[in-house]
């Protein structure tokens, strides 16, 4: 593990202001995405926003968003625009039910869902088997990437060169406990997510009567309650704790066999620093873990209010460019 020279913006002191600013107020470009709907073998679909690369056969960067995010999230668009300037093609995919249109099936997405990620990579590989594929994920999307790379290990497709994962919730139970804690800020984060999740669950229940205990879902006010009532029930887990244990990406780090850059902050309000798997990362030569002093969750804001910069993107791009070209320092 290393501690990089990240300088948090002075006008965003503390762990919360940067997190909130990056989530709801950061300026971001609007790449001219081309939306494609990909039909899935189980009858559902994924909406994927794409940009062409600067040349035929350009490496493609697959970007995975966070919990209740989308391809329209500021951090996705920011990274997509920056990577596009380096010649990458972009495939920013939306998890089931996150593209602005409800997915068809009762099931949705969760932190450990790697089947859809594998499907996205497989489809891109079939388009051009010689084109390098790189991965980038934020928060929940980062957890999926780390878990998938660890699951596949040596069998990860050769076309997948490397990945970057930002603000990963390595231990889902520790993160749920942090979000379910008393206090103003945990309440703000918790309700921001749960309000959207409850709304989706209620809509699903209307389409599939009896699938969920909807009265209890409406009353759920913690992730422990929601994940037990909805996530576990819809995706085949015995309980919230079973889901958290089986899908936490920290336990999959030893299996990673492709270059993986992990970017975390020691003051992340959603990911307790004690849950960052320093020993597992240090023990795996394929994994580079960098933990900044400050940075919040998915924020890493530097610069001035008039010219903010975002360190995670600036750090990720050289790593991705080097691996895409096969030139590794």
Which residues participate in catalysis according to the annotation?
139, 268, 297
Q: Is-contact 98 23, C-beta < 8 A?
A: no
DSSP 173-227: HHHHHHHTSSSHHHHHHHHHHHHHHHHHHHHHHHHSTTSS-HHHHHH--SHHHHI
Q: Is-contact 243 112, C-beta < 8 A?
A: yes
Q: Is-contact 88 324, C-beta < 8 A?
A: yes
Please count the helices (runs of H) and the strands (runs of E) in the chain.
Answer: 12, 10
- Our CA dihedral for 243, 231, 65, 39, rounded to 10 degrees, sits at 110
* Backbone angles phi and psi of 48, in degrees to 5: -125, 125
Q: Residue 206's closest CA among 217, 195, 190?
A: 217
- Between CA 196 and CA 191 the distance in angstroms is 8
């Amino acid at each position: 593990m290393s501690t990089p020279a990240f300088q948090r913006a002075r006008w965003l002191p503390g762990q919360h202001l940067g997190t909130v600013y990056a989530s709801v107020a950061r300026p971001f470009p609007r790449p001219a995405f081309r939306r494609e709907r990909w039909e899935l073998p189980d009858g559902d679909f994924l909406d994927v926003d794409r940009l062409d690369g600067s040349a035929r056969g350009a490496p493609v960067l697959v970007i995975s968003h966070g919990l209740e995010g989308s391809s329209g999230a500021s951090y996705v668009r920011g990274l997509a625009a920056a990577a596009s300037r380096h010649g990458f093609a972009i495939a920013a995919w939306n998890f089931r039910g996150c593209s602005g249109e409800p997915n068809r099936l009762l099931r949705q997405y969760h932190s450990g869902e790697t089947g859809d990620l594998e499907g996205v990579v497989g489809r891109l590989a079939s388009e051009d088997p010689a084109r390098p594929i790189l991965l980038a994920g934020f928060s929940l999307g980062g957890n999926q990437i780390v878990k998938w790379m660890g699951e596949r290990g040596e069998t990860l497709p050769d076309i997948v060169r490397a990945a970057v994962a930002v603000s990963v919730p390595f231990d889902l139970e520790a993160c749920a406990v942090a979000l379910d804690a008393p206090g103003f800020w945990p309440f703000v984060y918790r309700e921001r997510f749960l309000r959207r999740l409850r709304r989706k669950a209620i809509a699903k229940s209307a389409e599939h009567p009896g699938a969920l205990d909807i009265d209890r879902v409406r009353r759920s006010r913690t992730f422990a309650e929601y994940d037990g009532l909805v996530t576990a029930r819809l995706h085949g887990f015995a309980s919230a704790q079973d889901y958290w244990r089986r899908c936490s990406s920290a336990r999959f780090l030893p299996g990673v066999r492709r270059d993986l850059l992990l970017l975390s902050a020691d003051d992340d309000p959603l990911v307790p620093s004690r849950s960052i798997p320093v020993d597992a990362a240090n023990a795996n030569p394929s994994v580079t873990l960098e933990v900044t002093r400050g940075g919040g969750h998915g924020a890493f804001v530097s610069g001035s209010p008039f010219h903010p910069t975002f360190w995670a993107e600036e750090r990720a791009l050289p790593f991705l460019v080097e691996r895409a070209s096969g030139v590794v320092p």
